[in-house]
Amino acid sequence: MMRPMVIGTALACAKGILIDLDGSFLEGTALAPGALELFESYADRIAFVSNNSSHTPEELSAEMAVAGIKVEPSRIFLAGAQAVTWLATHRGTTRIFALASRSIRHLARKQGLNLTLEEPEIVLLCRDIELSYERLAIAVSALREGAELVAANPDLTHPGAGGVPVPETGMLLASLRAAVPSAAPIIVGKPRVTMFAAALRRLGVTPEDAVMIGDNPVTDGAGASALGIPFILVGRHRDALARDIAGLLWDRAA
Ligand SMILES: [Mg+2]
């Protein structure tokens, strides 16, 4: 963890800046204090690395453009989309039941995944914002039959507007495991290093030339540290080291 006086310098010197979204760059759908200024100062060095598992990068790019953040989808790494890519790469044409949003299911079909309700061999778990009892029952049944469980992220909640907790993928994961305790998930999102590594490749920088800004030491911090990326803590777990993203810019000015 860095001391406050060196955080501004670390940002200015970093060739790549990886930023978490919920609770860090965004507060609900609004930008966090200082987020716009941070983006305008370093836009060409920034990539977003988020455990969001309901949206595609294209959707988030369009939403952020409304708030004045013009970032191309190729710089946005999201756990749901990454889980789809992981399955396309590692599981090919396996029969998959996707407990996921319409956007993610559409993305999965576009990437050639075989989504089905019939005897699935894999359950893909994302933040299914259209969750129904029937869909939950299909997932439980498949897992009881021995289907593999692939989850986008382990987060129980993420902070929404005003810090109100938004139910996340990990909460659905807990409910599935309550019914099928033996279901051991493969987690694709943070803290796994896959998305961090992909973001570094996109920016063309090495871990030591990058920083990660995030609000969750367990996912943002642990994943960054596993690759040797310096980590700056902001947001709800914040302490005297970094009050918020605006604070990072004040440090830089000082
Ligand atoms: Mg976060």
Average pLDDT over residues 73-88: 98
Calculate the alpha carbon distances from 252 to 5, 9, 11, 13, 207 in Å: 8, 6, 8, 11, 21
Asked if residue 153 lies in contact with residue 187, where contact means CB atoms within 8 angstroms, the answer is yes
Flag whether pLDDT at 5 surpasses 50. no
Which comes out higher in pLDDT, residue 8 or 21? 21
The closest of 201, 202, 210, 204 to 228, measured between CA atoms, is 210
Domains 4-51+191-231+246-253 and 80-187 equal at CATH topology level? yes
Looking at residue 140, its amino acid is V
Tell me which architecture the domain covering 80-187 has in CATH: 3-Layer(aba) Sandwich (3.40)
Query: How sure is the predictor about 54, in pLDDT bands with cuts at 50, 70 and 90?
Result: very high
pLDDT at 103: 97
* pLDDT digits 0-9 by tens, 144-202: 999 999 999 999 998 888 878 899 999 999 999 999 999 999 999 999 999 999 999 99
Residue 223 buriedness (CB in 10 A; 0-12 / 13-18 / 19+): buried
CA 26 to ligand 1 centroid distance, Å: 9
Distance (angstroms) between ligand 1 centre and the Cα of 206 equals 23
CA-CA-CA-CA dihedral for 163, 6, 50, 111, to nearest 10: 170
Residue 82 sits at φ, ψ, to 5 deg, of -65, -35
pLDDT tens, residue by residue, 87-132: 999 998 899 999 999 999 999 999 999 999 999 999 999 999 999 9
Ligand 1 mean position, distance from CA 235 (Å) = 8
Of 23-32, 57-66, 111-120, the range with the lowest mean pLDDT is 23-32
Q: Where are the domains of the chain?
A: 4-51+191-231+246-253, 80-187
Instruction: Compute the distance from residue 121 Cα to the ligand 1 centre, in Å.
Output: 31
The Å distance, Cα 132 to ligand 1 centre, comes to 26
Separation of 139 CA from ligand 1 center, angstroms? 27
Q: Is 4-51+191-231+246-253 assigned to CATH 3.40.50.1240?
A: no
The pLDDT value recorded for residue 244 is 55
Ligand 1 centroid to Cα of residue 145, in Å, is 34
Q: At 165, which amino acid appears?
A: P
Residue 253 has pLDDT above 70, yes or no: no
CA of 175 to the centre of ligand 1 (A): 22
Rounded to the nearest angstrom, the distance between the alpha carbon of 23 and the centre of ligand 1 is 5
For ligand 1, the distance from its centroid to the CA atom of residue 158, given in whole angstroms, is 6
CA–centroid distance, residue 142 to ligand 1 (Å): 31
Kindly give the distance from the C-alpha atom of residue 171 to the centroid of ligand 1, in angstroms, as a whole number: 16
CA of 94 to the centre of ligand 1 (A): 32
pLDDT surpassing 60 at residue 231? yes
pLDDT at 242: 46
For residue 184, report the distance from its CA to the centre of ligand 1, in Å.
24
Q: Would the pLDDT of 12 be above 90?
A: no
* Cα 128 to ligand 1 centre (Å): 18
